[in-house]
Amino acid sequence: MASRNELAELTFSAPRRKHHQTKVLFAMVGLPARGKSFISNKISSYLNWTGIPCEIFNAGSYRRKRLGADKSGRADFFDTRNSSNLSQRDHIAMATLDDALQFLEEEGERVAVFDATNTTRERRRMIYEKIKEFEKTSVKVTFICLESICDDPEVLDVNLRQKIRGSPDFQNMAEEDALRDLRERIKRYESVYEEVDDSEKLSYVKVINLNAKVVCSNVFGKTPLRVVQLLMSCNVYTRPVYLCRAGHCDGIVDMSGLRKQVKAVLGCQDEILGRARGPYAEGSKVIAQQVNAVALDKSTAPESSMKTADATKTGSQLLRCFSTRMDEVYMPSMATASAELSDSGNRFAQRVAKFIRQEQGAEAEIDTYTSTLPRAVATAMPLMEYDEDRIEEWSALSVLNTGIMHGLKVSSIRREYPAEFNLWKIDPFRYRFPGGESLYDLNQRLVDVVLQIEHTFNPVLVVSHLSTIQSLLAYFQNIAMEKAPMIEAPQHSVIVLKPSNYGWSIKIVTEDELPEL
């Protein structure tokens, strides 16, 4: 049997896998108010949350920046018979596409969403030719047309009203005037609209009535197929999603002995690095030296890049101030895995049930998902009238496994495991805790939960734990995942999310605001 040092030599000398750096460009296709921006935002939030950088390049935003909403936002600007306006629109579209291609040129796997109408074969041919010209001197790009078709009057009416309420083109306009202008704009586009078909020899996805039907042609690859799976799950029903942590419980398990054992193993890292051989050994030593150099720095100030949160307006209220409070954040703990709810936890569970029933009605069907831990199931039981068969238990909703560091404050990790702390600080999303998981691992197991929530038509209650609630909120509020440990999700509160065309609104109902029993 190989010794630990021999295994270390194998580890450091083995060639590293080179992951294929996929570059994908989705070009949206469709008439105005057909859900293109809704789909674009869903794709961006989902891929960024799973660790794939994705950015939206919206031609309408570029148009307004260059020409102003007052000048270019009225229906007359979209008259296809006006060659001057048509030329301006084409020029702006190509400038938007140029920026999308520059984004794809950066290192690593990337996805760009070109959010424009792209309603004619000629426009799509221009996009294809520009991409082919780009590939001659840069990276290969997978080009997919993503067409949104909507002929359901009910869905279309919702889309029209959401567009005029959310688009800067219709600010300061009465709703009926805005609707009239938007419908006139749509007529201008309808006169030249050509659906994508096989004769264009392009890869495409058609989404009909926002997931009622999805058609794919020549779509291959892991990332594009993940997007297709997302598109088949999303819907525009305005059902709420309730998130809450499991109620308070009693009981704790002492894991200090295990920590001491693993810390002794981690202490061997200098000897292991000293014996490293092979083509990547020097690089491994350099990285280790850099990490150890940072570990020896006694400064407690976090890197400036981690002081601010790129969050939506509503999501920003969930973030703590990293620079002043991060040391007080605890790593998730499995110490109470089998503990039962305390008296206060049981009262909270009953108040949650009463709150949701008051909002949704006594007979409303609520899809209820919990982790497999007894305290999470017990928190959901009053809502389900103590019928456990009506609760879906997901192991994916279990707490983040932080290995030997579970339950520790960040300040304790900084002091006891300085090298590990700095590895975590360098890449908090992909850093894997010794004997545990990374935030990336957590998100991968939560993918099916997210898709199920997106797919359901009923109100949803999710009862889970701090780390998983933080991860779900990072998705719904489009918050960078490295900021997830700073998201506030107070125990004995209910977070209410409601969908819209431009994201999810959020409201935190505190324990004091829940109905009394």
**pLDDT by residue (tens digit) across 84-130?**
888 899 999 999 999 999 999 999 999 999 999 999 999 999 999 99
Q: φ, ψ for residue 130 (rounded to 5)? A: -65, -40
DSSP state of 252: -
Q: Which residues contact 406 (CB under 8 A, 6 or more apart)?
A: 255, 331, 332, 333, 334, 335, 436
313 neighbors 483 (Cβ within 8 angstroms): no
349 neighbors 379 (Cβ within 8 angstroms): yes
Confidence of residue 20 (pLDDT cuts 50, 70, 90): low
Residue 327 has pLDDT above 80, yes or no: no
More confident residue, 150 or 268: 150
**Strands of 494-500's sheet, edge to edge?**
392-393, 367-370, 460-464, 241-245, 494-500, 503-509
Confidence of residue 333 (pLDDT cuts 50, 70, 90): low
Distance in angstroms (rounded) separating the CA atoms of residues 146 and 196: 9
Question: Token pair of 449, please?
Answer: 């939960």
Of 391, 364, 358, nearest to 462 (Cα)? 391
Q: Mean pLDDT, to the nearest integer, of 407-431?
A: 89
pTM for this prediction:
0.80
Largest CA distance in the chain: 79
**What does R_g of the chain's alpha carbons equal in angstroms?**
26
Query: What's 242-255+308-405+430-513's CATH class?
Result: alpha beta
Distance in angstroms (rounded) separating the CA atoms of residues 196 and 204: 8
Helices (H) and strands (E) in the chain, counts: 19, 12
Give the pLDDT confidence score for residue 256 in this predicted structure: 46
Of 504, 505, 502, nearest to 37 (Cα)? 502
Name the strand (E) or helix (H) holding 4. Answer: helix 4-13
Count other Cβ atoms within 10 Å, centred on residue 167. 20
CATH architecture classification, 23-236: 3-Layer(aba) Sandwich (3.40)
Can you list the alpha helix ranges (DSSP code H) found in 138-221? 153-166, 175-190
Residue 255 has pLDDT above 60, yes or no: no
**pLDDT by residue (tens digit) across 181-216?**
999 999 999 999 999 999 999 999 999 988 778 999
Counting Cβ atoms within 10 Å, is residue 516 exposed (0-12), middle (13-18) or buried (19+)?
exposed
Residue ranges, comma separated, of all CATH 3.40.50.1240 domains in the chain are 242-255+308-405+430-513
